[in-house]
Amino acid sequence: MRQIFLDTETTGLSADNGDRVIEIGCVELVNRKLTGNNRHFYLNPGRDSHEEALKVHGITSEFLKDKPRFEAVAADLIDYLKDAELVIHNAPFDLGFLNMELALIGQPPLRSLVANVIDTLVMAKELYPGKRNSLDALCDRLEVDNSGRALHGALLDAELLADVYINLTRGQDALLMDDSAATDSAGQALAARDLSSFQLTVLLAQEQELAAHEEVLKQIDKSSGGKTVWRKFMPELPRLSA
């Protein structure tokens, strides 16, 4: 499965009132592995950022004056995103701005171009109701290193979001790049495997093992003067046959 983690920076908060996209960052995962096939665009919006927005991303009009307009990168972006599953934190915000940019050049909205859209903010609110679920808060909660995030940046935020998503959905601690795979003692590359679909076989204890376990429990109970909690609530442990 091909997933694209996407983030944008904008001149302000309202696409309907003329604010524009100034940065797009995209990070690709295939079968839950980073591929390094990312996209990053700075865009000249043709207007200044609002003061509050500038405090968030720090991207000045002077920096953007020689950058391309959205229409110049649109074909590349559409081709890159086509048929992928998009993963966005607070998706309505980014989709609203990108759909506005697409509409200005006569292109259909993003949902008609991609396979699906996942909103990690919605996911986080379901998993952690009543808690802060900003990207920074999720990084702290899920132990994702965001120490380099002094200001918001679309590519950095997309990379952080990919790591957050992996932790939200499986708890994997790290993402593996294809070109830096682990190696065995002979120097051969080890393939990273997704074990989420594996069904583990349950092996029940045999009668002899259960008897040995029961004897250990009796000795512990005896040493504690009969004060062990499990004897109080379960005088005799059930025995399972293999």
Confidence (pLDDT) at 205: 83
Burial class (CB in 10 A: 0-12, 13-18, 19+), 102: buried
Predicted confidence (pLDDT) at residue 234 exceeds the cutoff of 70: no
Of the candidates 40, 57, 89, 152, the residue annotated as catalytic is: 152
Residue 39 has which token pair?
């996209």
Confidence (pLDDT) at 117: 98
Predicted confidence (pLDDT) at residue 183 exceeds the cutoff of 60: no
Q: 7: closest CA among 66, 95, 115, 112?
A: 95
At position 90, the amino acid (one-letter code) is: N
Predicted confidence (pLDDT) at residue 185 exceeds the cutoff of 50: no
- pLDDT-derived band at 181 (thresholds 50, 70, 90) equals very low
Told to judge if 152 belongs to the known catalytic residues of this protein, a careful annotator would answer yes
Predicted confidence (pLDDT) at residue 206 exceeds the cutoff of 60: yes
Predicted confidence (pLDDT) at residue 89 exceeds the cutoff of 80: yes
Confidence (pLDDT) at 193: 57
- pLDDT-derived band at 92 (thresholds 50, 70, 90) equals very high
Mean pLDDT, the chain, integer = 86
pTM of the predicted model as reported, rounded to 2 decimal places: 0.70
Q: What number of CA atoms fall less than 13 Å from residue 46's CA on the CB side?
A: 8
Confidence (pLDDT) at 221: 74
Contact between 56 and 50 (Cβ < 8 Å): no
% residues pLDDT > 90 (the chain)? 65
- pLDDT-derived band at 241 (thresholds 50, 70, 90) equals very low
Residue 33 has which token pair?
């592995």
**Which one has a higher pLDDT value, 148 or 213?**
213
Residue 8 has which token pair?
């944008």
Instruction: Write the pLDDT tens digit of every residue in 20-30.
Output: 999 999 999 99
**How confident is the model over 169-189, as a mean pLDDT?**
52
Instruction: Write the pLDDT tens digit of every residue in 69-86.
Output: 999 999 999 999 999 999
Instruction: Write the pLDDT tens digit of every residue in 98-145.
Output: 999 999 999 999 999 999 999 999 999 999 999 999 999 999 999 999
Give CA–CA dist 43/227, Å, rounded. 71
From the options 3.30.420.10, 3.30.565.10, 1.20.140.10, 3.30.70.260, give the CATH code of 2-179: 3.30.420.10
% residues pLDDT > 70 (the chain)? 81
- pLDDT-derived band at 146 (thresholds 50, 70, 90) equals confident
At position 62, the amino acid (one-letter code) is: E
**How confident is the model over 8-13, as a mean pLDDT?**
96
Domain boundaries of the chain, sorted by first residue: 2-179, 201-242
Confidence (pLDDT) at 162: 95
Confidence (pLDDT) at 197: 62
